Structure 1
Amino acid sequence: MTSGTVEPKRNATHAVDSLDHGVEKQKMEHSEVLGDKEFMTDAENAETREHEMGLWEAVKDHPMACFWAFIFCFTIVMESFDMFLNGNFVALSAFKNRYGVFVEGSGYVIPTKWQSSLFQAGQCGAFVGVFLAGPITNRLGYRWTTLLALVLMNATIFISFFADSLEVLVIGQAFEGIPWGLFIANSPAYASEVVPLVLRGACTATLQMSWSIGSIIVAAATYGFNKRTDEWAWRGPLALQWVFPVPLMVLIFFAPESPWWLIRRGRNDQALRSIKRLGRKNGTQASAEATLSMIQRTVEIEAHLGGEPTLLDLFKGTDLRRTLITCLIYASQNFAGNLIANQATFFFEQAGMSTDFSFKLNLINSCLQLVANTLAWPLSGWFGRRTIYLWGTAVNVTLLFLLGICASIPQSVATNYAQACLGVMISFVFAGAMGPISYSIIAETSSVRLRALSTGVGRAAYYVAEIPMIYLASQMLNPTGWNFAGKCGYVWGGTACICFVSAYFGLPELKDRSYRELDILFKRKVSARKFKSTVIDVRENE
């Protein structure tokens, strides 16, 4: 079985003949593969089986697929850890006393430019990383690309740990961001490819859980180091980053490669072994071969539409629409209250809480986010991606405007606590709805052929939106900036409204759709609001 790619040109003289021959050969192979009745029966039966499989049945049948999806998603804990760590640095007394400036009425604070730089540096590095992820992954595969990123992560932590100035710390964060980009581009793609259809939503949602786990570790570490008055108040938490890479490297070294990637590279025997490793130990050979046929069928259909994937393919034909959805959903994570969660400790301080209580409240907030992530698993199985995203955004729009109103009335202890509670509620809703379901949408929207590139470009859109928004968030909260405190709810409430309207008209329902069905729906240019009701026959190959 071939992957359906065209042969390379031999030389300039025979370029046209070679291309014609390659296209003709591709069409012939495509016709031969999809014209094989036995092959098509296996593929159709496997896809029907996935549609009929229940959530718990899928977990029992594919325990190792769930495990490896979680391990790859867990790499995100390192980006989460560092992102939340920077948010806590600006609230650490020892860090503020060492690098801050004195502001009358607020004590020592980190200047706005350095506060935003600490947040933005890592994102700038990650922006580079996500563009490297696609080409590297297409070449090496998800497994070796992730191992490479873990080695790089281990090395770059040294820069931040030994930094003795804000300038060097910012540089260290920028270098750490490069492997973050590789992690975040690969994790949702890998998770979506190794688990059955019914588990895609739950397993890709574990990315948000990794964010919450990282924030809990940071909240606990910074709360424990908060009382220190020396440099270990921030060097200690930085050193904790070394806890993650080595164990993850050992585990991922033994992980199976995505069978979708292997088939795209023409390595069908290895793909079959990978499918067997991802299923039950007592799974039948026939079942594994049927799954292989299902994957080959989709890969052959997509290969017929285009050869070796390139970044330009993301902006051509029906893939342009898919790329726009991926980019907009990723970017929208910055506009619906997420940045309040990322700077929760500092937000609580600006809402009138004491420093010590702000760190305690941040730990509670992080634990509640983990609870919300857990609730997202059954939610993704019961409700559609579009439904969860729209309702979650609508709830946060309401809460954000309430936060702005609460900060606008005469202030008291009661209004301070109300703002803090609303901040926790906004974080909870995001962690249970828009956060996890966004990763499911992103992983499912792109075509299989372009997935590694699409998730990278989508995450790049996230950083393009986040980097200026981080500066805006720092300006709004910092006493040396605009000092809005809870009034930032008006701004984020307005941007969340835009996200809601955009999703209502542009976000299709992806739940319970195989990748073949999604290819057909996008090719037919079906309206986003009609994706759920459109019937696609299991025999269609367009």
Structure 2
Amino acid sequence: MSNPVDSKSPSGGDLAEVETAGHTIDHSADLDEKAKLSAYKGDAIEAENAELNMGVLEAVKLYPMAAFWAFVMSSTIIMESYCVFLMGAFVAMDQFKKEYGVIDKDGKYQIEASWQSALQMGGPLGAIIGVCLAGPLTSRIGYRWATIIALMFLNCFIFVFYFANSLAVMFGSQLLEGVPWGIFIANAPAYCSEIVPIKLRAPATQMLQMFWAIGAIIVGGVCYVYEAKMDPSAYRIPIALQWMFPTPLAILLYLAPESPWWLVRKGRLDQAAVAVRRLGRASLITNLDESVAMMRRTIELETSEKEPSYLELVKGTDLYRTLIVCGVYAAQNLTGNLIANQAVYFFRQAGIDSNLAFALGLITSALQTVFVMLSWILTTYLGRRTIYVWGSLINVCFLIALGVAGSVGKSNAASLAQASLGLIVSVGFTLGPAPASWVIIGETSAIRLRPLTTGIGRAAYYVVNIPCIFLATYMLNPTGVDLGGRCGYVWGATGFVCFILAYFYLPEMKGRSYREIDIMFKRHVPARKWKKTVIDINDDE
């Protein structure tokens, strides 16, 4: 509190009005502004303390609609997952291979390795365009409208895929479908991490991995039913079923609230307060102004008069944050994910018959869904870094074991061992590195640059994914080098490199507010010291 004596000028007048060189200077506006700033910071501190002290169950009770809308936005990933796994299933489908394949050295129909790679690379190529569009588009019109527009375009592009009558047209359809995928995958983790309180950020963003597995389950079930048909409906009907998703999701997202963090970035504070109220239980949420004040305080740490640009992602501490997001995204391709994405084809090349391979693919996807749910508990209570780093190392061990199983010669026992280890790798990936990576991606970037960072991060994923798809296909395909389970050596080596980099450079952001994360990056706190570093609630830099 101020001293009463100091509230007067030396001549006995109020300090709010002082004569200087014949001019009167009115300080009352400055004093009012300081009072407002002091009150606003106090509200921000109250809201941040409330979130930091909130338990998981309390967070769900207070913000049930935030969890629901995160669920809806996460479900957009089904479209990419569905089509990625669909192409993986098609190249293992007898009718598809008969119509579009060639006869291999064993007298069986196979899709040529070059076309197999092209079909699976078409979507990622288009998605690179999508993620580059997502950042500027979302920064301008918001998460909801950017995603709704992408869903409507996807409806149109599915027509191209359905009526395709050659592998070349199918490749073009995948290229087109990839563009909206890129927008979904760039926006979903950012939106989910922004609309929920701190204690729900892990499960909200990890739902993306769950919906990836659900997309695979749907594909597995559909292809298991239609795989035995010996006419074009074997693959036409699975393509047509893509229309199940875009329109219902677009309607739901039209009804969803915009991210309050995006609204605060745009200066729409009243609308942000309304969004916070819609995300919570109205009868229990009474601190709307405090929540908006917390967002303002964090965003003002990153204040700039310029519109966000990609150039900012490679400057100062934002470069480190960008590298983490890009590295975690890219590493998904190098730590077992491609075996999971090509599970059915992998099982076929390991010597498993068609029906059993599709059944194992379905079992793999179902187990992945269960394990993602288990990972919610692990990452919420044990942390992101712990699960990601040590989960990656465990997966490397299983990949090496897969390589050993593929090196002992052809036999029924060796085939079963390879199939079992392939299943373990695919499922283990969804317990450790995969779901934890989504939380890391959602938390790492600066609020102001988040749409751009998640977009460029996903672009890094596709840049690595495209050559890895070619490599994975070439390693497994009989018209390639036909490594089978020995591909585990290759992915084990790349996975080990990812483990080393994550151990030294990935910080632990569990239980941190976005203000604390901003401050710790700006203070250049070493990654392995984040867990023990204390940030005072009053610190703004």
Q: Confirm or deny: 8 A CA contact 1:34 1:40 kept in the other structure.
A: no
2:149 is matched with 148
SS in 1 for 2:320: helix
Residue type of the partner of 2:95? Answer: A
Residue type of the partner of 2:478? Answer: P
SS in 1 for 2:109: strand
Give the direction of change, closer, same or farther, for the CA distance of 1:273–1:35 in structure 2 (3 Å limit).
Answer: closer
The percentage of counterpart residues that share the same residue type is 52
Q: Confirm or deny: 8 A CA contact 1:34 1:297 kept in the other structure.
A: no
Q: Confirm or deny: 8 A CA contact 2:406 2:484 kept in the other structure.
A: yes
1:515 is matched with 514
Residue type of the partner of 2:497? Answer: I
Residue type of the partner of 1:409? Answer: V
- The alignment status of 1:382 with 2:377, answered yes or no, reads no
What is the aligned-residue RMSD (CA, Å)? 1.4
1:301 is matched with 301
1:498 is matched with 497
The structure whose Rg is larger is 2
Paired with 1:56 and 1:104, the residues of 2 have a C-alpha distance of 59
2:371 is matched with 372
1:250 is matched with 251
Paired with 1:410 and 1:189, the residues of 2 have a C-alpha distance of 47
1:138 is matched with 139
- The alignment status of 1:427 with 2:426, answered yes or no, reads yes
1:412 is matched with 411
Q: Confirm or deny: 8 A CA contact 2:392 2:433 kept in the other structure.
A: yes
Residue type of the partner of 1:140? Answer: I
SS in 2 for 1:479: coil
Residue type of the partner of 2:529? Answer: K
Residue type of the partner of 1:388? Answer: I
Residue type of the partner of 1:171? Answer: G
Alignment of 1:470-485 (within 5 A): 470-485=469-484
Long gaps (5+) in structure 1? 1-27
Paired with 1:178 and 1:198, the residues of 2 have a C-alpha distance of 32
1:281 CA displacement: 2.1
1:485 CA displacement: 0.4
2:539 is matched with 540
1:200 is matched with 201
Paired with 2:415 and 2:115, the residues of 1 have a C-alpha distance of 27
Q: Confirm or deny: 8 A CA contact 2:85 2:341 kept in the other structure.
A: yes
Residue type of the partner of 1:422? Answer: L
- TM-score under structure 2 normalisation? 0.93
Q: Confirm or deny: 8 A CA contact 1:326 1:445 kept in the other structure.
A: yes
Q: Confirm or deny: 8 A CA contact 1:33 1:39 kept in the other structure.
A: no
1:308 CA displacement: 2.1
Give the direction of change, closer, same or farther, for the CA distance of 1:217–1:269 in structure 2 (3 Å limit).
Answer: same
Residue type of the partner of 1:256? Answer: P
SS in 2 for 1:448: coil
1:32 CA displacement: 5.2
Residue type of the partner of 1:288? Answer: L
1:104 CA displacement: 2.6
- Show CA shifts across 1:328-387 (max 9, x none): 000000000100011111100111100111011111111011111111111111111100
Alignment of 1:53-68 (within 5 A): 53-68=54-69
Paired with 1:329 and 1:203, the residues of 2 have a C-alpha distance of 18
Residue type of the partner of 1:125? Answer: G
Q: Confirm or deny: 8 A CA contact 2:143 2:191 kept in the other structure.
A: yes
SS in 1 for 2:156: helix
- The alignment status of 1:282 with 2:286, answered yes or no, reads no
Give the direction of change, closer, same or farther, for the CA distance of 1:213–1:313 in structure 2 (3 Å limit).
Answer: same
Q: Confirm or deny: 8 A CA contact 2:143 2:187 kept in the other structure.
A: yes
Residue type of the partner of 2:122? Answer: A
User: Runs of 4 or more off by more than 3 Å in structure 1?
Assistant: 31-35
Paired with 2:99 and 2:158, the residues of 1 have a C-alpha distance of 21
Between the two proteins, the alignment pairs up a number of residues equal to 512
SS in 2 for 1:185: helix
Give the direction of change, closer, same or farther, for the CA distance of 1:277–1:33 in structure 2 (3 Å limit).
Answer: farther
Q: Confirm or deny: 8 A CA contact 1:77 1:214 kept in the other structure.
A: yes
Residue type of the partner of 2:223? Answer: T
Residue type of the partner of 1:472? Answer: L
- Show CA shifts across 1:206-251 (max 9, x none): 0000100000000000010101111111111000000001110111
2:340 is matched with 341
- Show CA shifts across 1:185-204 (max 9, x none): 00000000000001101110
Paired with 2:418 and 2:54, the residues of 1 have a C-alpha distance of 44
Residue type of the partner of 1:360? Answer: A
Residue type of the partner of 2:381? Answer: W
Give the direction of change, closer, same or farther, for the CA distance of 1:106–1:44 in structure 2 (3 Å limit).
Answer: farther
Moved more, 476-485 or 291-300: 291-300
Q: Confirm or deny: 8 A CA contact 2:62 2:285 kept in the other structure.
A: no
1:487 CA displacement: 0.2
Q: Confirm or deny: 8 A CA contact 2:404 2:486 kept in the other structure.
A: yes
Paired with 1:92 and 1:336, the residues of 2 have a C-alpha distance of 26
1:307 CA displacement: 3.4
1:395 is matched with 394
Paired with 2:501 and 2:310, the residues of 1 have a C-alpha distance of 25
Q: Confirm or deny: 8 A CA contact 1:407 1:419 kept in the other structure.
A: yes
1:8 is matched with none
Moved more, 112-121 or 377-386: 377-386
Residue type of the partner of 1:300? Answer: E
Long gaps (5+) in structure 2? 1-28
Give the direction of change, closer, same or farther, for the CA distance of 1:60–1:284 in structure 2 (3 Å limit).
Answer: closer
- Show CA shifts across 1:11-46 (max 9, x none): xxxxxxxxxxxxxxxxx99x9589722111110011
1:458 is matched with 457
Residue type of the partner of 2:266? Answer: R
Give the direction of change, closer, same or farther, for the CA distance of 1:33–1:247 in structure 2 (3 Å limit).
Answer: farther
Residue type of the partner of 2:240? Answer: A
- The alignment status of 1:72 with 2:73, answered yes or no, reads yes
1:23 is matched with none
